[in-house]
Amino acid sequence: MARTVEIIGAPTDYGTDRRGVDMGPSAIRYAGLSQQIEAAGLPCRDGGNVEVPIVEEADRADEARVKFLDETQTVSHRVADAVASALERERFPIVLGGDHSIAIGSLAGSSRDAEIGVLWLDAHADFNTPETSPSGNVHGMPLAASLGHGSFASADWAHANLPEDNLVWIGLRSLDAGERDRILESDATAYTMTDIDRRGIAEVVEEAISITSDAVDGLHVSLDLDWLEPTEAPGVGTPVAGGVSYREAHFALELIAERVGEDLRSMDLVEVNPILDHRNETAELATELASSAMGKRIL
């Protein structure tokens, strides 16, 4: 990968119940994301943050099954435009969340003029619809929105050019009942932590790359920091015990860089909550993993 990396911040927290994740982009920048990318041998430009609505000023009277849907739509449009613009200028966009709802915009922008595959590195599937979500929080719905499931079928603003059989989850360990049923009925592929324990991270990631990269124009990687074991990444809003280790995470991103190369099209780093973090170590880990995805190696 020889492209300039463009950092795009999306400081949202209304996709989740826990405040503070809107400070994630600042924490990741402070942890030295630009320096890590440059250490991997790539030029880096910070494009700043997209403007996000102030939720305290929002009218909640018409809110039904989805919290802050209007705000999510607004931010999704802005993130999509920023990602698409970066790609048009032959740059590699890294979108910093904020909560995982920002991926609706990054997927739409990355697939505006291309068909993409998606690797979703997360403890959660984020595959709820407004009808199945137990909370109404949009950070649990971005993939359902991007694929047009449930009442998102009419939400053209959310749809991505993503064939369902080119979507792969890696490291799932916390699913709602509605998500579990939808995954089993879908054409997507899911690897749980049990699969990683049984088969090893290398075999799982190799297979996932093959699936996501089949007959598409490029690959998007969406990395939620709660993918990792909470002792490794304490600064997340929805930690789940039993995640990938520090070394497994780095190996996975290194393998993606090695196998995908120039076909790696865009990336999210989401759900870093500095209020819950210890000395910004989760944000620092996010920068390290991003640099591994950009090709940084020990030797």
Q: Which residues form the catalytic set?
A: 100, 122, 124, 126, 139, 224, 226, 271
| Separation CA 230–CA 291 (nearest Å) | 21
The strand ranges marked E within 41-115 are 44-49, 92-97
- Taking the alpha carbons of 198, 200, 203, 204 in that order, is the dihedral positive or negative? positive
DSSP 51: P
Looking at this protein, which amino acid is placed at residue 169?
W
Query: Per-residue b/e over 149-185, b at no fewer than 16 CB within 10 Å?
Result: bbebeebebbbbbbbeebbbbbbbbbbbebbeebbee
DSSP-H helix ranges across 89-147: 103-110, 142-147
User: Other CB atoms closer than 10 Å to residue 78's CB: what's the count?
Assistant: 19
DSSP codes joined into one string, 186-214: SSSEEEEHHHHHHH-HHHHHHHHHHHHTT
Whether the link from the prior residue into 98 is cis, omega within 30° of 0, is: yes
Q: How far is CA 23 from CA 9, 93, 128, 207, in A?
A: 10, 19, 25, 35
DSSP 16: S
Edge-first strand order for the sheet with 167-172 is 44-49, 5-10, 92-97, 264-270, 218-224, 116-121, 167-172, 189-192
